Homo-oligomer: A and B are copies of this chain.
Amino acid sequence: MGTIEPGATADVAPAETDERTRSRLLRAAVCIFDRKGYAAASVREIVEIAGVTKPALYYHFGSKERLLTTVLDEACREFTAAMERAVARKGTARQRLEALCEDLHGLFQEHVPVVRVAHATFFGPVEGAPPFDFTLFDRRLEAAVRRIVEEGQAAGEIATAASAADVSLVIMGVIGVFAVRQIHYSFEPIGLDTMRRVIGLIFDGVLREQGQQGERRQ
């Protein structure tokens, strides 16, 4: 159908208008979900902010729930693509893990409201939770880190005594702690230089060893 947006002119192709309406609705939904929470967000407010009609929302998404799962799906797709790029990248395991963390940090920064909505929904009450597989992001991130670590072990860069699954947990922890500082209004974000140092720490270890520590860490 394609609701005509305010400001749309007659020479805009219907498919293009449709696409614009859809993305306006997604942006408006994120804005309201972020401010009020998913449960308290009303379809009326979303269409008002989007500047479209209620039928346009139902035509594109069918429901408020589907609007939320679409936001989460699209974010998950973009983050997954970043993980795939990290796995495909050349370099040492350390460089690739650093790049992965930096890419995710950059994506979080670019999509703060979406990441906040994802966290709020993830940690929100079970009753009223959307039908979304919240383990997806974690499982894909874990798989990407594991793959890079295992390739680093095969190349002799990473000690085989370090389990790839354990390294994943540490890396996921670091990504998590930086993400929280980025998205939560009570905290100051932490810069990328600190992230690089922290990853260096994971590689080098914090143990003091017969004077070599200084050389290994720079």
Give the B-binding residues of A (Cβ under 8 A).
33-37, 39-40, 116, 119-120, 122-128, 133-135, 138, 149, 153, 156-163, 166-167, 169-170, 172-178, 180, 184-187, 190, 194, 197-198, 201-209, 213-214, 216-217
Contacts and interface: CB of A to CB of B under 8 A. Distances in A.
Main secondary structure of the interface of A (DSSP, over half): helix
A181 to B, nearest CB: 9
A31 to B, nearest CB: 11
23 contacts: A33-B125, A34-B125, A35-B125, A35-B126, A36-B127, A39-B40, A120-B124, A120-B125, A123-B123, A133-B186, A159-B207, A161-B217, A162-B217, A166-B197, A167-B201, A169-B174, A169-B190, A170-B201, A172-B173, A203-B207, A205-B205, A205-B206, A205-B207
A207 B198 contact: no
A161 B122 CA distance: 37
Q: How many protomers of this protein does the assembly include?
A: 2
A208 B124 contact: no
B156 A206 contact: no
A205 B202 contact: yes
Contacts of A207: 157-159, 203-205, 216
A126 B186 CA distance: 10
A205 B204 contact: yes
A125 B184 CA distance: 10
Contacts of A153: 208
A186 B133 CA distance: 8
Contacts of A157: 207-208
A198 to B, nearest CB: 5
B187 A135 contact: yes
